[in-house]
Amino acid sequence: MQNTDPYHRHPSISCLLEPKDPREEEKWAAELIQECAKAIAEKDSSKIHHLLWMLNELASPYGDCDQKLASYFLEALLCRATEAGELCYTTLTSAAEKRHSFVTARRVMLKFQEVSPWTTFGHVASNGAIMEAMEGESKLHIVDISNTYCTQWPTLLEALASRGSDTPHLRLTVVAMVSMGGSVMDEIGRRMVKFARLMGVPFEFHVVSIASTLGQLTEEELGLRKDEAVAVNCVGALRRVSVEERDAFMRMLCALRPRVVTVVEEEADFTTSRGDLVACFEQCVRFYSIFLGMLEESFSPTSNERFMLEKECSRSILGVLACNGSGVCERREKASQWCERLTEAFATTAFNDDVIGDLEALLERYREGWSLVPAKGDAAGLYLTWKAEPVVWASAWKPIKP
């Protein structure tokens, strides 16, 4: 009688199911995902079929971290194998934009900031660097290239208001993709103007909408004025610039002659391995394993906000791994890689003791596991670490004078 065991034809698959050291059991999803990526790279259709079947049987978006990891990477593997990544990504993104309102997105972000310093770390570091660089200036212009719905700025407005009679005029220009929607940015603008008025800070709010890619942003669109001191805030922004446009984008930022450029990025390398499918999957699995584990420990099991953040992970994974060359994905780079690009036009500036103190105080508000670590070697700035793993990098830069 023919053996119908779906693992029979592939001993390398069967061994993944054998009993292991309990400390290693939690890594089953990563092993299966990487085996499947290898099979796709080798065009081994039989092995691909069996591994996808296994992942489908074991995966669940409602299970533990490994089950969720399997679920989200399964979608990317299927799309990669069938070359349907771009269509699937566009469909999922469009559905998410229609389903989630600004109020929902803002609630998710604020809850995330409440339970984890993943985003607030960058806000505090950037605000501190901007305040120091703008000391004594009467007219400030912050160019905000980020995806944080302006949740960073109320704290800075409070700090500016504390200057009393020396409160400067602030103009905030937010660079946003057209997909974010004009009504969303209008609502954000109204809230910001109202809060600035409450704080007694003279304030202007402007939006620059980008229809294509962030790398196409020009100096002329930002409407700089000669009597203003400029700061550029890039929180999670540089990874949204296509890899091929990044060096030119840095030069454009330098041409703005800013007093400071703040850069905050997540610590992962999704660019070096672009031509190596297995290595790219390995990098993504490492990063998202850490992120999903952090969410599991930070949120309650039934949190809707956690579920929405996890679904966003699934779209990001799909974009990186299955939309090859389309430019829709966010290709992260590590601090050392960003520093190599930035040092062509900028010099790093250290965070002062006040900023370090504020960051240390921030981390004390959250559960154990978070630490602040200075960058070393080829990188400058500071790392936020989760269980000793660098996860977010913050830095501040000033243009090199010609």
How many domains, in total, are found in the chain? Answer: 2
Residue 339 within any structural domain of the chain: yes
Average pLDDT of the chain is 87
Rounded mean pLDDT of 340-356? 94
Same domain? 164 vs 93? no
Q: What is the CATH number of the domain that holds 223?
A: 3.40.50.150
The yes-or-no verdict on residue 8 having pLDDT over 80 is: no
Contact 370, 388 (CB under 8 A): no
Residue 385 within any structural domain of the chain: yes
The yes-or-no verdict on residue 6 having pLDDT over 50 is: no
Same domain? 157 vs 236? yes
326 vs 344: CA distance, rounded Å: 27
In this prediction, what percent of the chain has a pLDDT beyond 70? 88
pLDDT winner (highest mean) among 5-9, 159-163, 210-214, 276-280: 159-163
Rounded mean pLDDT of 78-91? 78
pLDDT tens string 381-397 = 999 999 999 999 999 99
**Residue 25 banded pLDDT, cuts 50, 70, 90:** low
CA 89 vs. chain centroid, Å, equals 17
Residue 4 within any structural domain of the chain: no
The yes-or-no verdict on residue 14 having pLDDT over 80 is: no
Same domain? 348 vs 248? yes
Contact 234, 262 (CB under 8 A): yes
Same domain? 166 vs 183? yes
| Residue 288 backbone phi and psi in degrees, to 5 | -75, -25
Same domain? 312 vs 379? no
pLDDT of residue 231: 98
Residue 206 within any structural domain of the chain: yes
Helices 353-363, 120-133: crossing angle, 10 deg rounding: 160
Which range of residues forms the domain containing residue 283? 11-99+270-322
Domain boundary (258, 291, 322) is at 322
Rounded mean pLDDT of 125-148? 95
Rounded mean pLDDT of 333-353? 94
pLDDT of residue 179: 63
Written as six digits, the tokens of 50 are 């069996």
Report the amino acid identity of residue 39.
Answer: A
Tell me how long the chain is.
402
pLDDT of residue 50: 93
Residue 6 within any structural domain of the chain: no
Residue 21 within any structural domain of the chain: yes
Could you write out the DSSP letters of every residue in 218-241?
-TGGG---TTSEEEEEEES-GGGS
**Residue 180 banded pLDDT, cuts 50, 70, 90:** low
Same domain? 151 vs 226? yes
pLDDT of residue 184: 82
Residue 37 within any structural domain of the chain: yes
